[in-house]
Amino acid sequence: MKKVIVFSVLFITNFLFSQEFVLTNDNFKEKASPEKNYYVIEVSGKTQSELYKKTKIYITGKYKGVKNDGYNEVEPEQIVLDVYGSKEKTIIINFAGANIWTVSNRYEINFKDNKVMIKPVFIELQNTIESNTTASISSLFNKKGEPKKEKAIEFIQSETNEFILELIENLKTDKSNDW
């Protein structure tokens, strides 16, 4: 039993870090291949339409009322959505005013038979108390591209990678539609 648990933990950890994105001053890059700003998931035995439909069901379940100006689709080839993350975090970015932030990202998701390509793009941090206050990527990195606000960057990466991991898990599992 211990071997099964250890193997499961190692498999999940490897799976988690195989598609991890890091935020740079040039936006998201794949950690394993820093020249790439997207990740391709192999889902054998699924058609383009099946993958599209499964992703659409996942997105509408996770983000209620997502169909607005920040949602576009070309069935069954692509879904592009602008969404706010599900978490808020207190991070000192400016010393005046409230510093409770949520992540705003764009996800471009493209579909082919047996493959899904995910490309995250960081838009901004949105202040949840003062709605007209935002923090762009230039607020997080200095002119040399070095991180200025490491906690904010970690928060953005965590929120983004969590979304992608949940989407991948959803695409790779076959859940029954039985009620």
Q: Model confidence over 33-46: pLDDT tens digits? A: 999 999 999 999 99
Each residue of 62-97: pLDDT tens digit? Answer: 887 776 778 999 999 999 999 999 899 999 998 877
DSSP state of 141: B
CA distance 175 to 61: 14
* Residue range 1-51, pLDDT digits in tens: 554 444 444 444 444 445 799 999 999 999 999 999 999 999 999 999 999
Cβ neighbours of residue 95 under 8 Å, at least 6 residues apart? none
pLDDT in tens, 134-174: 999 999 999 999 999 999 999 999 999 999 999 999 999 88
Cβ pair 88, 100 in contact under 8 A? yes
How many CA atoms lie within 13 Å of 127's alpha carbon, on the beta-carbon side?
A: 15
DSSP state of 33: S
103 in Cβ contact with 159 (< 8 Å): yes
Q: 């901004």: which residue's tokens?
A: 124
